[in-house]
């Protein structure tokens, strides 16, 4: 504890009879009590205070006997104990409040991420989707092993071209990977499936269909339609959002066209979610996107200056941290913080009424 309140009136009322030396000793004892945040030990208390002469030692004993109480080898001060208990309670509440704030922020981020993943998967399935039968046949064609490292066991569905990069959910973009490879592959777009996997899947699906139905017309091998041959729904182009100007909207659409990327309502909605995470309006987010000239953009990729956040120097960051520590302990605003100008300070001099005379 580096700060405590000292009520001068109460202090002088109780210590008016003390000598200057005893005042110094009492103040020193209080400082040690609050700094250590515990009662003071009787053993070695004179040396702990730095008392050397007989007068200083006598002053120490006199102040201890009058204002402190010896309890099992410890000098206790009732007012100090109350202040320390209050300080500990305040610190506990501050930590709990900070932890709750972090948890709430993480919950909001997780919710936003889930919405973004859902929007991306919707776009991926618009391009093509696979069935459970196709997945099981693909795993069988790959001998139920990870096609990247060869590990056997349960396999996970990996999009060869990641969904966030525009990959589809078609079987032509799916490969079985173990949990470790799936989590560590990063942005790579490498197809590790063995040669002939498509023929094996078609043969397996054809044989299973023949077993399931007596119809002889189903005994011929089933051919999986290629991704480019899969009929796609025509998606109407999105309308310009009201909070985006016509010029910025056209620039963004031209960028999407240049990158050969789709421009749908789902993409716009995903951009709005990312803009909210970055603390920007949708138009400001689109402006940053156009300046970067990238195919996609996420809030996590933005630099501080792109978010409109001023970059502080290390000295400014240390100074800010010092203000926050002081304010946490005192419960008041640091006097050296810049205060917002008063309304009177902003008015011209000729509009101020200094006084009136009769």
Q: How does pLDDT run across 43-88, given as a tens digit for each residue?
A: 888 898 888 999 999 999 999 999 999 999 999 998 898 888 888 8
Distance CA 29, CA 40 (A): 8
pLDDT at 90: 87
Residue 265 confidence (pLDDT): 86
Q: What is the pLDDT of residue 26?
A: 92
Question: Are 225 and 251 members of one domain?
Answer: no
Q: What is the pLDDT of residue 214?
A: 44
Question: Same structural domain for residues 155 and 224?
Answer: yes
Mean pLDDT of the chain: 81
Distance, CA of 30 to CA of 77 (rounded, Å): 9
Strands in 69-71's sheet, in edge-to-edge order, are 40-41, 74-76, 69-71
pLDDT computed for residue 278 by the predictor: 86
Q: Is residue 352 included in any domain, yes or no?
A: no
Quick one: 169 and 268 in the same domain? no
pLDDT on residue 20: 93
pLDDT attached to residue 30: 92
Residue 238, in any domain of the structure: no
Positions in the chain whose pLDDT score sits under 70: 110-112, 207-235, 308-314, 337-358
Per-residue model confidence (pLDDT) at position 309: 59
Co-location of 130 and 223 in the same domain: yes
Q: What is the pLDDT of residue 292?
A: 87
Residue 108 lies in a domain: no
Asked whether residue 252 falls in the same domain as residue 287, the answer is: yes
Write out 17-40 in H/E/C secondary structure.
CCCHHHHHHHHHHHHHHHHHCCCE
Q: 253 with 296, same domain?
A: yes
Q: What is the pTM of this model?
A: 0.34
Tell me what pLDDT residue 194 has.
92
C-alpha–C-alpha distance, residues 22 and 26, integer Å: 6
As for how many domains the chain has, the answer is 3
In this structure, the answer to whether residues 137 and 217 fall within a common structural domain is yes
Pair (160, 221) in one structural domain? yes
Alpha carbon 235 to chain centroid, angstroms = 35
Task: Kindly state whether residues 124 and 221 are assigned to the same domain.
Answer: yes
**215 and 253 co-located in one domain:** no
Burial-class residue 348 by CB neighbours within 10 Å (0-12, 13-18, 19+): exposed
- Between CA 32 and CA 39 the distance in angstroms is 9
Instruction: Look at residue 159 in the predicted model and tell me its pLDDT.
Output: 93
Range of the domain at 21: 8-82
Assigned domain for 143 exists: yes
């Amino acid at each position: 504890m580096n700060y405590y309140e000292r009520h001068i009136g109460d202090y002088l009322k109780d210590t008016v009879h003390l000598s200057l030396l005893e005042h110094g000793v009492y103040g020193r004892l209080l400082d040690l009590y609050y700094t250590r945040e515990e009662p003071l030990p009787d053993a070695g208390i004179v040396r702990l205070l730095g008392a050397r002469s007989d007068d200083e030692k006598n002053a120490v004993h006199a102040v201890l006997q009058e204002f402190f109480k010896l309890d099992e080898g410890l000098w206790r001060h009732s007012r100090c104990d109350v202040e320390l208990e209050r300080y500990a309670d305040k610190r506990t509440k501050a930590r709990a409040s900070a932890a709750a704030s972090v948890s709430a922020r993480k919950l909001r981020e997780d919710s936003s991420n889930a919405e973004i993943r859902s929007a991306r998967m919707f776009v991926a399935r618009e391009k093509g989707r696979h069935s459970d039968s196709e997945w099981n046949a693909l795993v069988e064609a790959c001998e139920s092993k990870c096609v990247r490292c060869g590990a056997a066991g349960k396999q996970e569905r990996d999009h060869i071209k990641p969904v966030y990069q525009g990959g589809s959910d078609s079987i032509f973009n799916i490969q079985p990977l173990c949990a470790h490879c799936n989590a560590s592959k990063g942005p790579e777009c490498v197809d590790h499936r063995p040669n002939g996997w498509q023929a094996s899947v078609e043969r397996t699906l054809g044989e299973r269909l023949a077993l399931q139905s007596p119809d002889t017309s189903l005994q011929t091998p089933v051919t999986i339609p290629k991704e480019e041959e899969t009929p796609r729904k025509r998606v109407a182009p999105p309308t310009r959002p009201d909070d985006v100007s016509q010029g910025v909207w056209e620039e963004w659409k031209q960028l999407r066209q240049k990158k050969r990327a789709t421009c749908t309502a789902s993409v716009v909605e995903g951009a709005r979610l990312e803009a909210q995470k970055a603390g920007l309006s949708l138009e400001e987010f689109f402006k940053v996107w156009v300046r970067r000239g990238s195919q996609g953009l996420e809030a996590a990729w933005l630099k501080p200056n792109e978010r409109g956040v001023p970059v502080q120097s290390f000295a400014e960051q240390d100074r800010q941290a010092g203000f926050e520590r002081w304010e946490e302990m005192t419960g008041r605003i640091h006097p050296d913080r810049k205060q917002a100008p008063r309304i009177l300070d902003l008015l011209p001099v000729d509009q101020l009424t200094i006084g009136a005379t009769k």
